[in-house]
Amino acid sequence: MNVHRDFFEALCEALEKIVGSLDHEQVMKNVVESTVQAMGLKACSLRLLDRRGKRLILGCSTGLSEGYIRKGPVLVEESALDREAMEGKTVYLENAQTDPRFQYPEKARQEGISSVLVAPLTAEGKCVGVLRIYAGEVRRFDREEMRFLEAMARLSALALENARMHQTLRGDFDLLVADRYRIDEN
């Protein structure tokens, strides 16, 4: 029962941080930091699907080395792990160093990554990216940990969509004000 309370409190704390910003970069930073802190793991990353739907581009991460981050592109076609997640599934890899679904197993070994859990970021009914957590040892994630990551992924997708809409509206408003100012000057 204590696990429920800890994850509930962690989710509330994360919600306060994530919803408190309308800046994409800050939202992503808050997501990965809150997730790692709540789950007590090695690292976390948030990747967003590019416009063509071919690559997952790193939005933000914590706990990963610069060398690992620059390992190469995460291509949906070559990453069975991410394809599964983008179909709406939460995916567990017991050992990324040996699992053929992981695109860069040798880099995982060099980074000291063993177990990985990935949840889809879904906005408006479509997958827009993935939220990954990494453990430095082989670890079984229990149902509550999986549910927490799924909740963080859903929350992240909503917060990122709100930040995007705010940015769009802000740009439209600024254009409207600029146009009005030009009309008033004439």
Question: Would residue 80 count as lying in a domain?
Answer: yes
Q: What is the 3-state secondary structure (H, E, C) of 2-63?
A: HHHHHHHHHHHHHHHHHHCCCCHHHHHHHHHHHHHHHHCCCEEEEEEECCCCCEEEEEEEEC
Question: What was the pLDDT predicted at 8?
Answer: 72
Span 2-18, average pLDDT? 64
For residues 39 and 97, give the distance between their C-alpha atoms in angstroms, rounded to a whole number: 21
Question: Would residue 186 count as lying in a domain?
Answer: no
CATH number of the domain enclosing 84: 3.30.450.40
75: containing domain: 2-180
Question: What was the pLDDT predicted at 124?
Answer: 82
Question: Would residue 25 count as lying in a domain?
Answer: yes
Domain count, the chain: 1
Q: Which of 36, 31, 12 is nearest to 21 (CA)?
A: 31
Tell me the pTM. 0.79
* DSSP 8-state code for residue 75: E
Q: Which of 35, 72, 79 is nearest to 53 (CA)?
A: 79
Span 51-72, average pLDDT? 95
Q: What is the pLDDT of residues 102-133, one digit of tens each?
A: 999 999 999 999 999 999 999 888 899 999 99
Question: Would residue 73 count as lying in a domain?
Answer: yes
